[in-house]
Structure 1
């Protein structure tokens, strides 16, 4: 199949530009007569490509939306330096934050473009079939943007007509009204996309829309505020799930989902494609997730995994092949070229620490690590266990007999003034990145996600045995991602109860889909209950508590490299006890710029707690 890269054709589908930012501030319109644009299939397709292309800008999934979804999820870490990443990683995002604004603005820019496209496409003279096809695709994109807006912000302005700068006044619409618009757009897309449409990477097809309708009904069934309609949502979700099931398949090797130029993956339901040849279609995720010496590009290691989630994953499934595709914990310094030394030029992060072992004849490099197989609970090593186990890692001066223990507690449970205490999120690291631009494509929705949500639907409908089988399809692929097949993750046993399976699916989705585009949404889908479940992964982690609230940390309150302890007092209870904190963090703040420029909204319309 042909891989589509969204490259904006400036002379046809956009206004004259002086810079990327100026362009993004313009209302979507066309530089030639609309009749000309929409009377030609070629130029109409270029206009449709621009609708898709808005999803790939830096404001949207090229950085802003993805950054807020993963960075603000509650399971990521960033420097505690008072900057914006510190605030959203601390679940204290501010309305003035750049990334919050980028995400909001990027989604609404794509909506504006789709609104204009839909109106003008239907005024043109092209065939009814082509009009329906192209309008269906633009409707899907608009619905997708409102899906992210509704799930991340709640009540938001609902704009379905082209707008100009002097007519942007629009009050917030209730969440349920926004959801109804998503249903309208996606049902139209499903009805009017051709039955025989073939899946082409970069464009949505009929089955892809059906999969999104399954997801929307499922996520609404999880929403405690809509509990009276739960049964209806579940049955509708099952209807769409049954249509989609078997129409896709799992990528045989899990790690191959996150490589350069993923195309024709059997697992891709919908993906976005990027190119470094465009000044507007930017994938800056390597810049956000990689360390500067981990790839050829320029990177900032702005967002990392928390130690707590890393240990939950590694301790739950030791040897899981997904681990090495999810976390980067050691790598060669690529900027040193081929003259590296195996250990001394390698970079190590949690749960590893490199050191020099002294002898009378030479200096040999060695690596200390957390011995997970020697602790009582591999998902949660304690400070006391680290203190004991670090005795096995030491330097020895053979001339004097002096033995110096490597301080694992000091490295991982107190501030050491660097990034080494946290692993990198690996999935969006592009080892061939140039400068800040990556060529990596992003799968927004994949079949494993679908299978896990389908399992949740069947479980809630009391078909727990069927649900276990669906989960086990995902677990089996994980094990067979390597040769010989791994022992973990083991299949779920067939005797799980409905309640047990519900909780296990929640955590399994975290493991399978960690650091992917809907991390923020997934964690909050069940309201404060599921958000609490995720944050208590952090709060019950002993090393995290010590690093955040321990006595040594209290003596250095301004350290830039600390962990976070969420929504509880300073005692180590492992719980999130502040219900207001949880309620606030169900949604992101509405950007100040929206409240100040939109006459239909005021400061009173800001989301709860901000």
Structure 2
């Protein structure tokens, strides 16, 4: 049944007025609507388009030194985002390099990293790419908004220089790992470029040139040290270390050595921590060995599981890491030490004639294991109830010997039998002084110069008071010094996400990985393509400049 006019407009038509009255009412209604349209149209400039002074956007928010500082802190925050040190970082590089091997419970995304079945849609790899570009975006934004900062005091002038330097360091960090992992990548050189998606991939040499320029720009205005409240920000030493790492990655050994040498003398006061254990404690940010570390801290139960994509969420912000829980044998237990890594701790004693069998003292400081494994045979040395045998832990009941060798590094098991959910506050080392000494030694060895000094640097690391490993003779040949250096990096930096980059830099990734993990059931071969990560599928789908520039559906 048709809807009557009075049913729409509420007019009294129960007496059925004349058509003339109907027409008059229609005319009045139309005039009313037109009047309202004119009124609202006329008010548009004064009412509807009035600017809300409480609203802001990315470019208008930053006005004070406090807010400019927030722009920089936002860049550092990415270090705890997906793909980064809160979770995926350690899985990505420990599993791909065979520092860690899958425990029986490891499945899916992370298992793919170990058996080389990952694709361009692997979430851990995709998040790494996204977070590195997010860091670059935030650095670009910080550099853009600070252009309008007119410092009012000398202190503010110094802060502007420091924050600008930190933004360059963060951008350099992002591109360092993008070019290291993917090779040719798109360059986003300013804020406007960060907003444009279709950017082509730049040549590898051009990306490395940018990385060198970013760290070179950062170094002059970065401070040598920070007050305790600012620990974790990039220092001048962190800038120098990464410039050296950039040169080293390109086999520019002379320039790399020049940078690393700077860190061995004043004004820098880095030294090896006397305690190996202290490097992996909750207090390790205060170690004299830290060149750059990612700070982790647990803040609230609402964010216990934030590492699963929950960073900067509505429940608050925190920056803990899940490594202790995920790697811990008495907890989620996802990984063991690889057999190849455990075997690396046994080699010929370099200080005795004939090089008899030798167990490196760091074995007991790196992993737990059964008697004869070389690892620590007890947990809970500092627990109220005293030490507990590793083999007596409930998880091993009913399992035959030998038991798996599991991580001691970055774990709290010397102080508590179990972790307390994935909320570790043990900071992630990114560069420490032992690493610097070994990189400097590598530069000397590869140039076949200063070989005694190179071996001396290796022995320095071995002579840490809590380690005191047998020393190498300082008259080693270049070939033997190279063997010593590569073994030392594998042992000293085990589980610190260095070996994947080392093997690729040395040009032995393919042969090493296929020897350690022979292809077979459940294990694919390491192919040439695995020297670079696959360009993420999402980037290909949204960036046409990249989509047509990928070979073999990979890179």
TM-score by length of 1: 0.68
Q: Which residue of 2 aligns with 1:113?
A: 138
Question: Where do residues 420-435 of structure 1 align in structure 2 (5 Å cutoff)?
Answer: 420=403, 422-431=404-413, 433-435=419-421
Quote the offset at 1:285 in angstroms.
Answer: 1.6
Kept in 2, the 8 Å contact 1:74–1:91? The answer is: no
Question: Where do residues 188-207 of structure 1 align in structure 2 (5 Å cutoff)?
Answer: 188-194=217-223, 201-207=231-237
Give deviations 1:368-427, integer Å, cap 9, x for gaps.
xxxxxxxxxxxxxxxxxxxxxxxxxxxxxxxxxxxxxxx75xx6xxxxxxxx5x422332
Question: Where do residues 288-367 of structure 1 align in structure 2 (5 Å cutoff)?
Answer: 288-291=326-329, 293=330, 299-315=331-347, 318-329=358-369, 345-346=392-393
The DSSP-based 3-state class of the residue aligned with 1:443 is strand
Q: Which residue of 2 aligns with 1:473?
A: 460
Pair 1:237-2:222 in alignment: no
Distance 1:348 1:463, change over 3 A: farther
The DSSP-based 3-state class of the residue aligned with 2:287 is coil
Pair 1:68-2:98 in alignment: no
Which stretch of the first structure deviates more once superposed, 189-198 or 233-242?
A: 189-198
Give deviations 1:144-175, integer Å, cap 9, x for gaps.
11111111221112112225997311222122
Give deviations 1:450-490, integer Å, cap 9, x for gaps.
0001011112232111111111101111xx206xxx5xx31
Pair 1:493-2:473 in alignment: yes
Distance 1:452 1:195, change over 3 A: closer
Give deviations 1:166-210, integer Å, cap 9, x for gaps.
731122212211111111110000122256877952011112211
Q: Which residue of 1 aligns with 2:168?
A: 139
Quote the offset at 1:33 in angstroms.
Answer: 6.1
Kept in 1, the 8 Å contact 2:238–2:291? The answer is: yes
Give deviations 1:478-527, integer Å, cap 9, x for gaps.
xx206xxx5xx311112211122112211211111011033321221123
Distance 1:604 1:312, change over 3 A: same
Kept in 2, the 8 Å contact 1:587–1:607? The answer is: no
Paired with 1:428 and 1:287, the residues of 2 have a C-alpha distance of 10
Distance 1:333 1:257, change over 3 A: closer
Q: Which residue of 2 aligns with 1:437?
A: 423
Give deviations 1:323-361, integer Å, cap 9, x for gaps.
223223366699xx9799857742587xxx977xxxxxx
Paired with 1:118 and 1:165, the residues of 2 have a C-alpha distance of 12
Paired with 2:484 and 2:451, the residues of 1 have a C-alpha distance of 12
Which stretch of the first structure deviates more once superposed, 303-312 or 248-257?
A: 303-312
Structure 2, gaps ≥5 residues long: 1-53, 300-315, 350-357, 370-376
The DSSP-based 3-state class of the residue aligned with 2:189 is coil
Paired with 2:211 and 2:317, the residues of 1 have a C-alpha distance of 30
Q: Which residue of 1 aligns with 2:111?
A: 86
Pair 1:180-2:159 in alignment: no
Distance 1:344 1:269, change over 3 A: closer
The DSSP-based 3-state class of the residue aligned with 1:67 is helix
Q: Which residue of 1 aligns with 2:38?
A: none
The DSSP-based 3-state class of the residue aligned with 1:601 is helix
Kept in 1, the 8 Å contact 2:444–2:451? The answer is: yes
Quote the offset at 1:91 in angstroms.
Answer: 2.5
Paired with 2:277 and 2:385, the residues of 1 have a C-alpha distance of 25
The DSSP-based 3-state class of the residue aligned with 2:247 is helix
Q: Which residue of 2 aligns with 1:570?
A: none
Structure 1, gaps ≥5 residues long: 1-29, 222-232, 294-298, 356-406, 412-419, 540-544, 550-556, 568-580
Paired with 2:552 and 2:317, the residues of 1 have a C-alpha distance of 34
- Match 1:463 to one of 441, 446, 450: 450
Compare CA radii of gyration and give the structure with the larger one. Answer: 2
Q: Which residue of 1 aligns with 2:10?
A: none
Pair 1:281-2:281 in alignment: no
Question: Where do residues 120-269 of structure 1 align in structure 2 (5 Å cutoff)?
Answer: 120-126=145-151, 127-162=156-191, 167-194=196-223, 201-221=231-251, 233-246=252-265, 247=268, 248-269=270-291
Pair 1:48-2:72 in alignment: yes
Give deviations 1:286-307, integer Å, cap 9, x for gaps.
233123x2xxxxx432233212
Kept in 1, the 8 Å contact 2:510–2:528? The answer is: no
Distance 1:585 1:315, change over 3 A: same
Quote the offset at 1:83 in angstroms.
Answer: 1.9
Distance 1:129 1:343, change over 3 A: closer
Quote the offset at 1:86 in angstroms.
Answer: 2.0
The DSSP-based 3-state class of the residue aligned with 1:605 is coil
User: How many matched pairs?
Assistant: 456
Which stretch of the first structure deviates more once superposed, 449-458 or 278-287?
A: 278-287
The DSSP-based 3-state class of the residue aligned with 1:59 is coil
Q: CA RMSD in A?
A: 3.3
Paired with 1:344 and 1:193, the residues of 2 have a C-alpha distance of 49
